[in-house]
């Protein structure tokens, strides 16, 4: 994201700004080609069907659109609009655009989203197991000899 020069560059300050939102962060990637490729890649990036995670409600989003020489700013704008619709209304949205001659008709969108109000992954409640107490005899520990003639290193003397 920040190491490749582009039409619209992203730098470390942009990443720091988004990550300063705190909380959980989501990193996602979408890839598409053909008609509506930018919108399809954005849709893939903002919702993972495998993980059942979306960027809904994110207050900080950084995304980068990488495409071949035929990538237009109109496509970048369409992707930005789709991403912005799913985020918090007050989202801080930062984006970049890169031309990569090797991609041809393909568009790749990388998204970093932060500032979620609630946990992104719903964890099922833990099942508690109750175990009855077992009466046992107290455990006898062997006597430990205290050795006073051990040298203590100088850097530890004040800490003990």
Task: Look up the pTM and report it.
Answer: 0.67
The CATH number assigned to the domain holding 80 equals: 3.30.1330.20
Over its length of 160 residues, how does the chain's per-residue pLDDT go in tens digits?
666 777 787 888 888 888 887 777 888 889 999 889 999 999 988 886 666 667 787 888 889 999 999 999 899 999 999 988 888 888 888 889 999 989 889 999 999 888 876 554 554 555 555 556 666 777 676 666 666 666 777 777 766 5
Does 27 fall in a domain? yes
61-64-69 Cα angle (round to 5): 160
Does 141 fall in a domain? no
> Total structural domains in the chain?
1
**Domain of residue 22, residue span:** 12-114
């Amino acid at each position: 994201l920040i190491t490749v020069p582009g039409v619209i560059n992203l730098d470390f300050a942009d990443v720091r700004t988004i990550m300063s939102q705190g909380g959980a962060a989501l990193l996602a990637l979408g890839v598409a080609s053909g008609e509506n490729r930018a919108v399809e890649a954005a849709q893939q990036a903002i919702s993972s069907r495998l993980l059942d995670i979306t960027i809904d409600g994110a207050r900080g989003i950084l995304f980068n659109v990488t495409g071949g020489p035929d990538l237009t700013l109109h496509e970048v704008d369409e992707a930005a609009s789709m991403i912005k619709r799913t985020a918090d209304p007050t989202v801080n949205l930062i984006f970049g655009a890169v031309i990569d001659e090797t991609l041809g008709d393909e568009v790749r969108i990388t998204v970093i989203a932060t500032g979620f109000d609630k946990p992104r992954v719903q964890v099922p409640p833990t099942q508690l197991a109750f175990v009855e107490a077992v009466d046992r005899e107290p455990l006898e520990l062997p006597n430990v000899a205290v050795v006073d003639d051990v040298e203590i290193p100088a850097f530890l003397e004040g800490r003990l």
